[in-house]
């Protein structure tokens, strides 16, 4: 399970130090792609293949936009010896990533957020909304 919240900075070459705990769980190489809410999603190769399989089960007309969104801008990355991964300019631009990022474990994938965007999103989550959803799930 991918969990935790980690703050990092982007260097001049577009690299971030990717948390070792998450690297261990994701494997030697993984996929970075566009995510919802203008963040980036990071998938292990296993999860990426599951996502691809699920999308391919949809009728062509429904899957076309998903394929364009997730696959067109995707990038396979391998951490260097210092644990850094490079994020291609197009993905940094999509997510509004310039200098400070937050890397967030989200169960089956990781999200990379611009720090200010993450602060805005995470501060808008209310305890009441979480409680309501937990009630729906029977917790």
Task: Name residues whose C-beta falls within 8 Å of residue 77's C-beta, 6 or more positions apart in sequence.
Answer: 29, 30, 31, 32, 85, 86, 87
pLDDT tens sequence across 74-97: 999 999 999 999 999 999 999 999
Inform me whether the pLDDT recorded for 128 exceeds 90: no
Residue 117 parent element (H or E): helix 115-123
Task: Name residues whose C-beta falls within 8 Å of residue 109's C-beta, 6 or more positions apart in sequence.
Answer: 2, 41, 42, 43, 47
Mean pLDDT, residues 17-23: 95
pTM, rounded to two decimals: 0.93
Number of domains observed in the structure of the chain? 1
Inter-residue contact 19 to 9 (CB < 8 Å): no
pLDDT at residue 129, as a whole number: 83
Residue 91's CATH number: 3.40.1550.20
Inter-residue contact 90 to 81 (CB < 8 Å): no
List the 75-77 sheet strands across, edge first.
Answer: 5-9, 100-105, 110-114, 40-44, 30-34, 75-77
Q: The domain containing residue 15 runs over which residues?
A: 5-137
Average pLDDT, the chain: 94
pLDDT at residue 114, as a whole number: 97
pLDDT at residue 138, as a whole number: 86
pLDDT tens sequence across 24-62: 999 999 999 999 999 999 999 999 999 999 999 999 999
Minimum mean pLDDT among 1-15, 38-52, 117-131: which range?
117-131
Higher pLDDT, 113 or 127: 113
């Amino acid at each position: 399970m991918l969990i935790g919240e980690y703050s990092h900075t982007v260097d001049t070459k577009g690299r971030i130090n990717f948390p070792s705990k998450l690297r261990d769980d994701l494997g030697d190489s993984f996929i970075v792609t566009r995510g919802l809410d203008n963040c980036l999603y990071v998938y292990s190769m296993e999860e990426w293949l599951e996502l691809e399989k699920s999308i391919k089960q949809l009728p062509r007309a429904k899957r076309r936009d998903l394929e364009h969104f997730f696959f067109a801008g995707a990038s396979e990355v391998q951490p260097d010896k210092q644990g850094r991964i490079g994020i291609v300019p197009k993905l940094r631009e999509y997510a509004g990533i310039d200098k400070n990022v937050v890397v967030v474990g989200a169960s089956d994938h990781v999200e990379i957020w611009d720090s200010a965007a993450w602060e805005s999103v995470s501060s808008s989550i209310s305890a009441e909304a979480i409680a309501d959803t937990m009630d729906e799930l029977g917790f």
